[in-house]
């Protein structure tokens, strides 16, 4: 192996390790707190609404600022802003671990979300810049597998640390990882920039305000009621602001998110599929983790171990799926994964009872795990190859923002269905609410599979519409 090839390989490996671990940290903190809420309440006090805000504060700032974080990276340097986001996230994690009261914990969680919003979209952009085009499928597969594992294993990790150590270690876990990554990222990642256009201040305010209103309404709706004045105000004002953002972005000279990107079937299709996938998956995991503990009687650790056929499968399948997407294109792999995921959720809904054995649940868990792995691997490739290199930062930010909105929407919708059809009064009441919720999740993920089928096939000349209708970087891979 030549010295140049050896250097390139080392650069690729370091970029993959750094971005995957950083993505894992940001994705993990979406759901890691859920199983620790009773212990947090015992130590810090607070009403039920305060406890919910320990989850919602992170989700809210994370989702709202994702596109802004990507835009900052494009303008001022992606590695520089990645380091800044990582430092903020790591420091806020330490503050959360040392929080003396519930209010300070909520504040620290909100700051965590700010750091994650800057850091997360740039992980994918930095990885793309470091990996040769021919190997990106495998790299995205590993990156996607790690991120998928973080989302799905959040309740397990949070529950295990709370049960065997302390809830504080949910947050302390991030600190040594962040401290180790900061010098590595500074030394091993190359700097890159976007188009160099000035920051789009009006677009940033419209997009951030719109996302804030909608995500706030979604996360507060199940607990405050969908007719609550604040919830309705958030939803309607957020929708109005996002409508204004779209209208403004079609006319602005240098918009934060060029609306012409959505003329690409590849970009529109994978973003629709991503949002629907997270809607179905987040809501399902949120309820299934409670089902295994509250109904079937497993401890948090036992429940997490029994979820491993689902949560651990991406680590085995996703790298292979990434290689497969390089060979046959991403569309069939993504679509197959979504239909596998839908079948797994439908099976879990069918066999859910108050005393279901683990054996009858296992096929659904395996199908869901395979499906999640097949989706995460090529989805990132589809996003990044559907736009020009200079626009990959904002494309990653937009895709991550839509995923987060989908996740918040999934928890809100499925919690509402669960409350309408069942409840926490008894094991049977929980099952009565769980089954229609999982059916809804399965239907939404199947719809995501249909959306994926609208992505252009490989080797079809996918073009990104622009002023001169310039083609995307590689016509053969633009539709992968």
pLDDT of the chain, 480 residues: tens digit per residue: 555 555 667 778 898 899 989 988 888 887 777 667 767 877 887 665 676 678 778 877 887 888 888 888 888 888 999 999 999 999 999 999 999 988 899 999 999 999 998 998 888 788 888 887 777 767 777 787 777 677 667 767 887 887 788 889 989 989 999 999 999 999 888 888 776 667 788 888 898 888 888 878 877 777 778 888 998 999 999 999 999 999 998 888 878 778 888 888 888 999 999 999 988 987 887 788 778 878 898 877 777 778 878 877 777 777 777 777 777 888 899 999 999 999 999 999 999 999 999 999 999 999 998 898 888 768 877 887 787 877 777 777 778 778 877 877 787 788 788 888 888 788 899 999 999 999 999 999 999 999 999 888 764 434 444 443 343 443 333 333
- Tell me how far CA of residue 292 lies from CA of 103, 306, 353, 420, in angstroms: 30, 9, 11, 20
pLDDT at 467: 42
Q: Please tell me the predicted confidence (pLDDT) of residue 478.
A: 37
- At residue 249, φ and ψ (nearest 5 deg) are -70, -20
Q: What is the pLDDT of residue 77?
A: 87
Could you tell me the CA-to-CA distances from 28 to 170, 199, 204, 391 in Å, in that order? 10, 30, 26, 27
pLDDT at residue number 471: 39
Q: Tell me what pLDDT residue 465 has.
A: 40
Q: 177 burial class (0-12, 13-18, 19+ CB within 10 angstroms)?
A: middle
DSSP category for residue 198? P
**Of 88, 101, 78, nearest to 58 (Cα)?**
88
361-to-149, 366, 378 alpha-carbon distances in Å: 19, 9, 27
- What confidence score (pLDDT) does residue 185 get? 92
Residue 181's closest CA among 345, 25, 27? 25
Query: Contact 478/379 with Cβ under 8 angstroms?
Result: no
Q: Residue 286: its pLDDT value, please?
A: 74
pTM of the model: 0.76
* pLDDT for the residue numbered 5: 56
Indicate the SS3 state at residue 30: coil
Look up residue 295 and give its DSSP letter: I
- Which residue is associated with the tokens 């995923």? 403
């Amino acid at each position: 192996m030549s010295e140049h090839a050896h250097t390139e390989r080392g650069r690729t490996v370091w970029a993959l390790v750094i971005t995957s671990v950083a993505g894992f940290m940001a994705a993990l903190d979406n759901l890691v707190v859920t199983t620790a809420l009773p212990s947090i309440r015992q130590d810090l006090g607070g009403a039920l609404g305060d406890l919910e805000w320990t989850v919602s504060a992170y989700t809210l700032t994370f989702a709202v600022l994702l596109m802004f974080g990507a835009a900052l990276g494009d303008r001022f340097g992606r590695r520089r802003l990645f380091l800044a986001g990582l430092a903020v996230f790591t420091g806020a994690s330490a503050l959360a671990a040392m929080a003396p009261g519930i209010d300070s914990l909520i504040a620290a969680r909100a700051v965590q979300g700010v750091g994650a919003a800057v850091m997360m979209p740039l992980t994918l952009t930095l990885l793309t810049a470091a990996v040769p085009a021919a190997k990106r499928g495998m790299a995205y597969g590993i990156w996607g597998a790690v991120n998928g594992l973080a989302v799905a294993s959040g309740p397990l990790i949070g529950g295990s640390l709370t049960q065997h150590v302390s809830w504080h270690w949910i947050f302390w876990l991030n600190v040594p990882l962040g401290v180790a990554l900061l010098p590595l990222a500074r030394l091993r990642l190359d700097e890159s920039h976007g188009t160099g256009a000035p920051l789009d201040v009006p677009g940033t305010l419209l997009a951030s305000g719109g996302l804030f209103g909608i995500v706030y309404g979604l996360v507060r709706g199940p607990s405050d009621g969908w007719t609550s004045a604040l919830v309705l105000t958030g939803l309607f004002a957020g929708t109005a602001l996002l409508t204004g953002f779209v209208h403004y972005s079609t006319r602005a000279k240098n918009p934060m998110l060029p609306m012409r990107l959505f003329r690409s079937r590849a970009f529109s299709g994978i973003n629709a599929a991503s949002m629907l996938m997270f809607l179905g998956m987040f809501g399902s995991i949120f309820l299934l983790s409670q089902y295994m503990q509250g109904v079937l009687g497993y401890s948090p650790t036992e429940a997490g171990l029994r979820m491993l056929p689902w949560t651990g499968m991406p680590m085995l399948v996703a790298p292979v799926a990434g290689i497969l997407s390089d060979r046959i294109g991403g569309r069939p792999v993504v679509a197959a994964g979504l239909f596998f995921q839908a079948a797994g959720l439908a099976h879990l809904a069918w066999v859910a009872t108050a005393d279901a054995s683990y054996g009858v649940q296992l096929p659904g868990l395996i199908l869901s795990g395979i499906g999640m792995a097949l989706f995460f691997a090529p989805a990132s490739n589809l996003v990044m190859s559907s736009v020009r290199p200079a626009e990959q930062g904002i494309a990653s930010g937009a895709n991550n923002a839509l995923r987060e909105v989908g996740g918040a929407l999934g928890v809100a919708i499925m919690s509402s269905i669960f409350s309408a059809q069942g409840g926490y009064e008894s094991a049977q009441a929980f099952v009565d609410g769980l089954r229609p919720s999982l059916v809804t999740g399965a239907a939404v993920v199947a719809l995501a599979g249909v959306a994926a089928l609208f992505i252009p096939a490989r080797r079809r000349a996918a073009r990104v519409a622009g002023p001169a209708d310039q083609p995307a970087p590689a016509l053969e891979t633009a539709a992968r």
